[in-house]
A and B are shown apart, each in its own frame.
Chain A
Amino acid sequence: MSKHRMKNISYDDDDDYDSAEDEGYDSEEQEALEQCTAEVLSQLRSGEPSVAASRDEVQEALWHYYNDVNKAVGYLRGKKVKEIKKKESAAPAPAAKGGQKGKGTTASVTGFPVPPSSAPAAHFSAAEFFRDSPWLNIPAHRKADILVEPLFPRLGLLGGASEAGGGGKVSKLAALAAARKKKEGDKDKGSPAATGANGSVEAPSPDPATAQARASPLSLRERLAGNGKPRQADGVAKALGKGPRPSPPLQKQPSPTEARKPKDRIDAEMKQPKEEVVEKPIEPPEANIRASPSTFATIIVGDATRPKMTEPSRLYSNSADLLKLYGEDLAEPFDFAGPSPDDVVFNAQNSAKGFKSKQPAQKPADKKAADLAGGMNNLSVEDKVSVKSKNLDVLSEFKKSKRKNAANFVVIGHVDAGKSTLMGRLLADLKAINQRTLSKYKQEAERIGKGSFALAWVLDQGSEERARGVTIDIATNKFETEKTVFTIVDAPGHRDFVPNMIAGASQADFAVLVIDSGVGNFEAGLKGQTKEHALLVRSMGVQKIIVAVNKMDAVQWSKDRFEEIEQQVSSFLTTAGFQAKNISFIPLSGIKGDNVTIRSEDPNVSWYTGRTLVEELETSEPYSHALDKPLRMTIGDVFRGSVQNPLSISGRIDAGSLQVGDQILTMPSGETATIRSLEVDEEPSDWAVAGHNVVLNLANIDPIHLRSGDVICRPSSPIQNISSFTAKVLAFEHLMPSMIDIHRGRLHVPGRISKLVATLDKGSGAPIKKKPKIIPPGTVARIVVEMDQAVPLESPTRIVLRAGGDTVAAGLLE
């Protein structure tokens, strides 16, 4: 979206922006939107004064007003009326700016179906110019044109010299007004700048085509930021073509952190009264913008004086292309004066939100009047917390943000294969944990006579786990390489904790299978959880598996042993459904650290020339997630985060996105909650998308409604609770109608196979035998499973069925 905007900033692109937004809708919303659009258009046409608006504008307005037709109509009408007025008044302006202006103006005007005002190239007349600005009663949109003036001396660094004469066109009156409004100007300058940044920040992309296309707007923006003089003229042109819909990219912001700052500003703006939007044409200008410049604004303006590190080269390399620059310049007349349409909408939304958030405050007063039952409902020990949403477009935020690739991997294998130790080693060698902690662990481990477990203690934090030297529950930890942020999910190997392992595997993009190469241990593992885990991760959709042949130091790095294991395991993994190219083997030693991050120096290992574990991990490609699907997240844990956040949940977002202030619905309890704040990979954030490991701090819900294994979703697209489902499963053991445990991630519920529908052909999925009495292992079958309680499940979901401590089947819900 921002790409579009940078390339060619005009109305058409704004429309692009909208349609890009529309892609986020699902068909149902689309339909509703269509209806509302038609409604608004007809109202606009029929109302007084009758105005016309493009579909896209209408849809955008609807989007901002949450499909509230009346509000959208009001907003659009106000906007259009203003525009028409402005067009009438400002039409002569382009003449002052030079011949090319005409072109630019028409280009921008064509974005509107409104009949373009007839005289884009007409003579400039002062009377005409100030027609809509009565003496001492300058309307906001006019006044705003001048606000940028004070910035001139400060921002004169980059200088787009071409329009130096533009200032001459400033009328004295305008200059006077400018002096008077200097302060507000400062502030206002900040806001459009921020808006622009909000909309358009994108780090330089390697794609040469877009870079080239973007180059000129960028330099233009620099010039705009740096040169105060053309601003007046710009403003005029803007008033002519744009109306209150600029939000143009003003300046380049190099980092996503800065990109996020506009939100702070928006927060500040929430205090602005809604009237600003609605009553602008009649209100005296003084009433409009009273807030002092936000810290953010000052920061932005300050920043603008410095050329960005990434910018100059592009700017200078393209500076020769003046004609193009001019053309672009004229095509996008901005003044950054009045609140940008984004601001307008934000303000409107915020004030609307203000209404809502005021309600809880009013409740005590209402309570007296309300009947007792109502009062009882309102009785709650805790006050309702209202969290203001920043109404971010999370997906575009996500696209803008330049995070490293993120990958989750689960570490699996038989008990005592050395999974936790290997991961402890990995974290220690990559300095993801500090040396002090490590030596503390070492000391403590030695004290209880388990010195060799010190590394595992990095992940095995539970007292029971440490005392017994066995991982019980999954532990997550993260580390970074140059390219990727990895999240380790260390799964328990013991057969009793396979449910926990399933929870871990459901969060994983790929798997690391740790195998004990010791004589006897490997063979035991292959019969035990090495096999079960591999089958489980495969049936949960994991494609890529790295086999870490651990404890090679104990077998003197025997090449024969390694090859024997490689041969056996790869034949097994292939039958389990892994493709040969997705399997890789590494001989290593977790406790010593050979071939984990650094290549082994042991002469015995000279035969191995392949990658180390870290190198192998880095070959993993980034995984894509269903960002635009409705929100789904399985709760991994419910806990008390801190005093500020008495109720937190953690998990990995399966699909969709969320942001601070969102209402979420937990299933199966069906209770709503508000996201008070959230953390992505232990860093505070305002939003998160599918694939992120998040901690959500919730408000307005009782912890009794939250259990690990529950699913959170949006109230608008809830997941259904079902008590029976049909599934296509691969049987690992004999299946017959019997009691089973159903696992999906953390979700673990008892149920029973109530019906064996048919055995299916593995390739085609066609039924072979209907109503079999029993399903032998290795067969694909369709079965019906019933549960005692309703649980949130929806197709397509991968489920695992277990009975008596064994995995009996895994498959896909239909």
Chain B
Amino acid sequence: MRLIKNKIEYNSSGTVTLCPEEPEDMVQWHAYNLIRPNDLLRASAIRRVTTTQETGSTTSSRVHLTLEIRVKSLDFDPQSSQLHVAGQIVNETPHTKIGQHHTLDLELNRNFTLEKEVGSEGEGVGWDSIAVQMLKDAVDESGKRRAEAVAVVMQEGIAHVCFIGQFQTVMKQKIEMSIPRKRMGGSDHDKGMNKFYQTTLDTLLRQLDFNTSSMSLTSNEPVRPILLASPGFVAAGFQKFIQSAAATTTPALKRLLPSIVVVHSASGYLHSLAEVLQSPAVKTILADTKYARETKLMDDFLEQLRKETNKATYGPREVESAVDQGAVGRGGGVLIVSNRLFRSQDVAERKRWVSLVDRVRDIEGGEVRILSSDHESGKRLDGLGGVAALLTFPILDEDLEDDEDDS
């Protein structure tokens, strides 16, 4: 994403113009995090306009317009990588009226302008530190060095095709099949497995947009690394299946073969992806990506928790109390926040977390890491309440649980 124009005022209201450049999920994902309800979004749109003649006949035509809407809701569809922003139109055009509803789909290479306001009664928060940070992430050139991989996490009868990006992991498709178990003298199991492999391969190729025509053999279009993960021998069997398919029916698959890595996972469910991404084979591919750092951070945190050093805590209340006590400060204090918290519809809720982050970063001098809830590590963090902290000194559990309700 390219930053075209940055006009953020001192009071943190202002507009930013951005241009999505890469056809990537990432763009959508950044936009999804940047745009919040009540923001003003200006982008080009195609709208079907129906006009009624005096005779009563209607004509309808598609008009290219530039519309500005006040955002009401965002809908991010990870499967099709599309971001739909719905809201009410605020600028008047020859074809639309103010207050009409429109849903904008952000398009590639077309600038969009995002304006955040600071309202007097706190209905908007403007470009707060988190938003600015996200904007920086979004336009980060180094982010382009994308370490993308495709992972197929599978077990007998279940496979998940996932795309692992810099900022998110998208589960593209789930394959579920009933495979007969082994029986005395039956070959149903092998047949079932073959069918399962075939279905998984078809799905994978479709998701990769892989050209299987024999002509493509000569093309040198890069192939992303493909990680096959499973307990037991399912992934190895799948690799063998692809090999045999490449040798016989679809020679184009030969291009795919060198980029296949077989790794171990404990199960075929999505949360085994964490294990996949920790395997050495994958670490070399994804080294020093944001994702790898996040994973490591979570591992450190859980390690502290496991050791019961009391130098790690989680949960909104516990973390806030630790920050109050100054335990999340210079010399190793790390505040780990899931970006899910900032996506909260509730402005007060967002303000609460932004102020906590600002406080740790600016006053306490601790480190703040915002984890993507679309990644495995972020999901783990979400399980812990979305916020956790590594502390500089041990804090004993004071029994604040007793008077506490589930917040």
Query: Interface of A with B (CB < 8 Å)?
Result: 461-465, 468, 472-475, 477, 494, 496-497, 499, 636-640, 703-704, 706-708, 734, 736-739, 741, 748, 750, 752-754, 770-771, 773-774, 776, 802-806
**Which of chain B's residues have a CB closer than 8 A to the CB of A706?**
178
Please name the 3 residue pairs, one residue from A and one from B, whose CB atoms are nearest each other, closest first.
Answer: A805-B266, A739-B271, A496-B231
Known A-B contacts A802-B266, A803-B266; the reply to A774 vs B308 at CB < 8 A is: yes
Contact B397–A773 (Cβ < 8 Å): yes
B189 interface hit (Cβ, 8 Å): yes
Question: B401 touching A770 by the CB < 8 A rule?
Answer: yes
Provided the pairs A773-B314, A804-B275 are in contact, do residues A734 and B380 lie with their beta carbons within 8 angstroms?
no
How far in angstroms is the closest Cβ of chain B from A647? 11
- Residue B188 CB within 8 A of the other chain: yes
| Assembly CA distance A773 to B401 (angstroms) | 11
Binds A, one of B90-98, B112-120, B179-187: B179-187
Closest to A806 in B: B266
Do residues B180 and A805 form an inter-chain contact, with CB atoms below 8 A?
no
**Chain B residue with minimal CB distance to A704?**
B178
Query: Is A461 touching B184 in the complex (CB atoms < 8 A)?
Result: yes
B232 interface contact, C-beta 8 A: yes
* B286 CB, nearest partner CB in chain A, Å: 19
Q: Which one, B188, B232, B306, B314, contacts A734 given CB within 8 A?
A: B306
List which B124-174 residues lie within 8 A (CB) of chain A: none
- Decide: B182 and A475 in contact? CB cutoff 8 A: yes
Q: How far is the CA of A738 from the CA of B378 in the complex (A)?
A: 11
A736 partner, pick from B183, B190, B232, B305, beta carbons under 8 A: B305
How far apart sit A711 and B133, CA to CA, in the bound complex (Å)?
50
| Residues in chain A near residue B231, CB distance under 8 A | 496-497, 499, 805
Q: How far is the CB of B235 from chain A (nearest CB, A)?
A: 11
Task: Say if the beta carbon of B402 comes within 8 Å of chain A.
Answer: yes
Residues of chain B from 239 to 290 with CB closer than 8 A to chain A in the complex: 264-267, 269-272, 274-275
| A782 CB to nearest chain B CB (Å) | 14
A639 pairs with B314, CB closer than 8 A: no
Which A residues lie within 8 Å of B184 (CB)?
A: 461, 477
A473 touches B269 (CB 8 A): no
Encoded as 1 (CB less than 8 Å from any A CB) or 0, chain B from 378 to 405 comes to 0110011100000000000100011000
Once A464-B237, A472-B232 are accepted as A-B contacts, the answer to whether A771 and B401 lie under 8 Å apart by CB is: yes
In the complex with contacts A736-B305, A750-B270, A802-B266, A708-B181 CB distance below 8 A? yes
Residues in chain A near residue B182, CB distance under 8 A: 461-462, 465, 472-473, 475
Contact status A770-B402, CB under 8 Å = yes
Inter-subunit contact A639/B188 (CB<8 Å): yes
B181 touches which one: A494, A636, A771 (CB < 8 A)? Answer: A636
- A750-B270, A770-B401 given as contacts; is B383 within 8 A of A462 (CB)? no
**B313 beta carbon closer than 8 Å to chain A:** yes
Known: A750-B271, A805-B275. A773 touches B178 (CB 8 A): no
B210 interface residue per 8 A CB criterion: no
Find out whether the CB atom of A773 lies under 8 angstroms from the CB atom of B313: yes
Distance, CA A472 to CA B230, complexed state (A): 13
Q: Are B271's CB and A639's CB within 8 A?
A: no
* B302, CB-defined interface residue at 8 Å: yes
Quick one: given A739-B380, A804-B266, are A472 and B305 in contact (CB under 8 Å)?
A: no
- Contact of A639 with B269 in the complex, beta carbons under 8 Å: no
Specify the main secondary structure of chain B where it touches its partner. loop
| Inter-chain contact A637/B233, CB cutoff 8 Å | no
Q: How far is the CA of A746 from the CA of B190 in the complex (A)?
A: 19
Find chain A residues with CB under 8 A from B401 CB.
770-771
Verify B189–A462 contact, CB threshold 8 A.
Answer: yes
How far, in Å, is B272 (CB) from chain A's closest CB? 8
| Nearest neighbor of B232 in chain A, beta-carbon distance | A496
Quote the shortest CB–CB distance from B199 to chain A (angstroms). 14
Residue of B nearest to A772 (CB): B397
> A637–B306 contact, CB under 8 A?
no
Which partner residue on chain B sits nearest A804 by CB separation? B266
CB proximity of B28 to chain A, nearest CB, Å: 24
List of A residues within 8 angstroms of B266 by Cβ: 496, 741, 802-806
C-alpha spacing A462/B269, complex, angstroms = 24
Contacts of A477 in B (CB 8 A): 184
Shortest CB-to-CB span from B88 to chain A, Å, is: 35
Set of chain B residues within 8 Å of A771, measured between Cβ atoms: 401
Give A440 Cβ to nearest chain B Cβ, in Å: 12
Q: CA of A420 to CA of B181 in the docked complex: distance in angstroms?
A: 17
A-B contact pairs, 8 of them (CB 8 A): A464-B190, A472-B182, A734-B305, A741-B269, A752-B383, A774-B308, A805-B265, A805-B275
Chain A contacts of B267 at CB under 8 A?
499, 741, 748, 750, 802, 805
8 Å CB contact of A707 from B178, B183, B233, B315 = B178
Given contact pairs A477-B184, A737-B385, a sample of 13 additional A-B residue pairs in the complex whose CB atoms are under 8 Å apart: A461-B182, A461-B184, A462-B189, A497-B232, A734-B306, A738-B383, A739-B379, A750-B269, A754-B383, A803-B266, A804-B272, A805-B266, A805-B267
Which residues 179-231 in B have Cβ within 8 Å of A in the complex? Answer: 180-190, 231
Please tell me if the beta carbons of A738 and B380 are within 8 angstroms of each other in the complex. Answer: yes
Hey, what's the 0/1 contact readout for B1-21 against A, CB within 8 Å counting as 1? Answer: 000000000000000000000
B183 touches A472 (CB 8 A): no
Question: B380 contacts which chain A residues (CB < 8 A)?
Answer: 738-739
**Closest beta carbon of chain B to A616's beta carbon, Å:** 26
B180 A637 Cβ-Cβ under 8 A: yes
Q: In whole angstroms, how far apart are the Cα atoms of A703 and B177 in the complex? A: 11
- Is there contact, CB below 8 Å, between A774 and B232? no
CA distance A336 to B363 in the complex (A): 99
**Interchain CA distance A632-B177 in the complex, whole Å:** 24
CB B379 to nearest CB in A, in angstroms, measures 7
Q: Tell me, in angstroms, the Cα distance from A739 to B265 when the chains sit together.
A: 14
Closest to B158 in A: A748
The distance in angstroms between the C-alpha atoms of A781 and B182, with both chains bound, is: 37
Interface centre among B231, B314, B397 (most CB of A within 10 A): B231
A461–B185 touching, CB < 8 Å: yes
- How near does chain A come to B138, taking the closest CB pair, in angstroms? 29
CB distance from A432 to the nearest CB of B (A): 12
- A539 to B280, alpha carbons, bound, how many Å? 34
**Bound Cα distance from A750 to B174, whole angstroms:** 14
Which residue on B lies nearest to A635, using beta carbons?
A: B178
Are B188 and A640 in contact (CB-based, < 8 A)?
yes
CA distance in complex: A773, B399 (Å): 11
The residue on B at minimum CB distance from A639 is B180
- Given A640-B188, A736-B302, A739-B379, A468:B233 Cβ within 8 A: yes
| Least distance between B266 CB and chain A CB atoms (Å) | 3
Q: How far is the CA of A511 from the CA of B186 in the complex (A)?
A: 27
Known: A462-B189, A738-B380, A804-B266. A638 touches B180 (CB 8 A): yes
Pick the contact of B183: A637, A734, A806 (CB < 8 A). Answer: A637
**What's the least CB distance linking B378 to chain A, in Å?**
12
